[in-house]
Structure 1
Amino acid sequence: MIEIRRVFWHVEDIFHESGPVAAVPLRRGYIAGVLTNLYAGHYEPDILPMMEQLNPVGVRLAHELLAHLDVPAERIEGYGKGALIGSAGELEHGALWHVPGGYAMRELLGWKGNAADYAAGKGSTKGQPGNGLAIVPSTKKVAAPGATLDVPMTHINAAYVRSHFDAIEVRVPGSPRADELVVILAMSTGPRVHARVGGLKAEEIARWDGLR
């Protein structure tokens, strides 16, 4: 069911934002797959078959993004996902990416559950603490070609770690066409480069419940 027309990726290093230069820059990036939306132009009651077909796409894009970031999986501290839906589609088509995209990144980064657990909203089932315990934040919208999407990012193990609240702007030139989906994964290696607004710190994570 899945026809990939294009894969687009972006990686950046942030050294400072008008403050001290970081000894180690924040590296973050995204990868976007441009796909044909088979449900564009008509209402399809049962769209779950496409979600199943997107699982290997999630795995492929997660591994490719990590390769482009050029860091070990252990260096990844933040993640997020999103989707842009062409104008002949509907918002629910972007929701098909929630499980394939989120599970693929969490598994790659060390989550100990499985795809069925993830789809059911269960936590890690094969030992704690693991990595990738936090739910992957997400956003989506129906958009014209060349539209931007601000993809939210949070800490991979605890959603309440305030220093890692971030977003990365995604744009794939000329996409999505009316009958396409753009599915997006994003990762980062740390907190905002000058994070200093308090709250739970990454080194203070204690509950290993995906929240705190």
Structure 2
Amino acid sequence: MIQGLRKIVTFHEDIFEEGGRACPQPWQQFAVAAVLKNPWAGRGFVEDLKPEIHAIASPLGEELTRRLLDMMGGGDKVEAYGKAAVVGTDGEIEHASALTHTLRFGNHFRKAVGAQSYLTFTNLRGGAGTPITIPMMDKHDAGRRSHYLTVQFRIDDAPAHDELVVAIGGSIGGRPHHRIGDRYQDIEELGGNDV
């Protein structure tokens, strides 16, 4: 059991049309989020966050990854991926970062999908109903712009002032009518300058 867990929420959308044009195949985006008690809320400034990170991050990453991959049909189906955290108003942005910016959390997801690129992220502070915005990119190629995606949803009763929401997301497919090129085109056109 994950320390302080109140509930887990899932999100799934199938997009059949984009820009007034049918998608060649449904573009699918998924997310799973845990709502849990912020272990640092109400304690003032906590200098050492490691005990709680070590206790919570790994089982949280393992459970969210398992649930997301069950929804998506396995790690090989995941093309783009990302993570997010929202801390309630009695917490610090550092509390949101603490549980997501540790290999104890993210490596469960990265290894399960065979990823080479880093997990994109957002960390926010807000009240119940704050949008959970998960930026995503291709799990193998950080320059593949068709897979620069965002999955967004909200949980009406979370986070409470003393809670955290931690989420991961994935996509099957990129934007269906991608036509802005990849990062490498810009680099070539700019004479090899990667600015």
What band does the TM-score fall into relative to the shorter chain?
0.7 to 0.9
Contact 1:150 1:167 in 2 (8 A): yes
Counterpart for residue 11 of structure 1: 12
- Offset at residue 17 of structure 1 (A): 1.1
Counterpart for residue 165 of structure 1: 148
Aligned with residue 122 of structure 2, among 139, 156, 160: 139
Contact 1:10 1:29 in 2 (8 A): yes
Percentage of pairs with the same residue = 31
Bigger shift: residues 191-200 or 163-172 = 191-200
Equivalent residue of 2:107, what SS?
Answer: helix
Counterpart for residue 108 of structure 2: 104
Counterpart for residue 148 of structure 1: 131
User: What pairs with 1:34-183 in structure 2 (closer than 5 Å)?
Assistant: 34-41=35-42, 42-53=44-55, 54-69=57-72, 71-96=73-98, 97-99=100-102, 100-110=104-114, 132-183=115-166
Unmatched runs of 5 consecutive residues or more in structure 1: 111-131, 202-212
Q: 1:20 & 1:150 partners in 2: Cα distance? A: 25
Contact 2:24 2:176 in 1 (8 A): no
Distance 1:24 1:7, change over 3 A: same
User: Would you tell me which structure has more strand in proportion to its own residues?
Assistant: 2
Letter in 1 for 2:14: D
Q: 1:156 & 1:50 partners in 2: Cα distance? A: 28
Contact 2:138 2:148 in 1 (8 A): yes
Contact 1:138 1:152 in 2 (8 A): yes
Equivalent residue of 2:110, what SS?
Answer: helix
Provide, for residues 120-173 of structure 1, a one-character-per-residue CA deviation record: whole Å limited to 9, x for no partner. xxxxxxxxxxxx000000001110111113211100011111111111113111
Contact 2:37 2:162 in 1 (8 A): yes
Q: TM-score, normalised by structure 1?
A: 0.80
Q: TM-score, normalised by structure 2?
A: 0.86
Unmatched runs of 5 consecutive residues or more in structure 2: 185-195
- Offset at residue 102 of structure 1 (A): 2.0
Equivalent residue of 2:71, what SS?
Answer: helix
RMSD of the alignment, in Å?
1.5
